[in-house]
């Protein structure tokens, strides 16, 4: 049996989990999330726990068991505490500012990059003197948050020689040595 799949999901107070056929809905103080579940996975709410089981021992059902448990757990954590991602702009002249959910980035191109964020994501930017600009993204939806953060990072991926670009705070980049002078 799947080691991840057989772990019960603890539902904190203030969070409501409902199962309607193959659709699981999780409602909490931060928002509402829904997830369709494969037919071979059985979801049961027992008190303050959500338990997932599989109908058969088919390879596909065994593969889906741990996946759906992790997805539903991410939904429960998201609507109760939420998720947060911080990104750092490394480079001379790189700046970030926001007006509501409109993110304005200066990344060394000949124009500003305007990025319109979904309404489920809250954004904040800060620029401390002598420090790199920081973009903070917060949401209750882990999948959407990761997708948007990856899209922002792809606007200027960090290069390996000087490390310039958009990187996650705490991310360790693989650096390369520059070209060395020819020996005579």
**120-148: pLDDT as tens digits:** 999 999 999 999 999 999 999 999 999 99
Global pTM reads 0.88
9-80 folds as Outer Surface Protein A; domain 3 (3.90.930)
Tell whether the model's pLDDT for residue 46 goes beyond 80: yes
CATH 3.40.50.620 applies to domain 83-168: no
**Where does CATH 3.90.930.12 sit in the chain?**
9-80, 83-168
Confidence of residue 183 (pLDDT cuts 50, 70, 90): low
The per-residue DSSP string of 64-111 comes to: HHHHHHHHHHHHHHHHHT-EEEEEEEESTT-EEEEETTEEEEE-SSSS
pLDDT in tens, 85-95: 999 999 999 99
């Amino acid at each position: 049996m799947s080691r991840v799949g057989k772990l019960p999901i603890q539902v904190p107070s203030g969070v409501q989990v409902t199962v309607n056929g193959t659709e699981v809905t999780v409602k909490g103080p931060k928002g509402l999330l829904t997830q369709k579940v494969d037919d071979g996975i059985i979801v049961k709410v027992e008190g303050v726990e959500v338990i997932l089981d599989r109908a058969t021992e088919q390879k596909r059902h065994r593969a889906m068991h741990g996946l759906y448990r992790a997805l539903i757990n991410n939904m429960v954590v998201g609507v109760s505490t939420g998720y947060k991602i911080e990104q750092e702009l490394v480079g001379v002249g790189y700046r970030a500012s926001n007006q509501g959910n409109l993110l304005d980035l200066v990344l060394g191109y000949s124009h500003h990059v305007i990025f319109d964020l979904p309404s489920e994501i809250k954004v904040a930017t800060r620029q401390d003197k002598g420090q790199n600009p920081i973009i903070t993204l917060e949401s209750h939806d882990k999948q959407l948050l990761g997708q948007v953060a990856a899209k922002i990072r792809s606007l200027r991926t960090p290069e390996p020689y000087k490390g310039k670009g958009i990187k996650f705070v705490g991310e360790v980049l693989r650096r390369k040595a520059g070209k060395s002078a020819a020996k005579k």
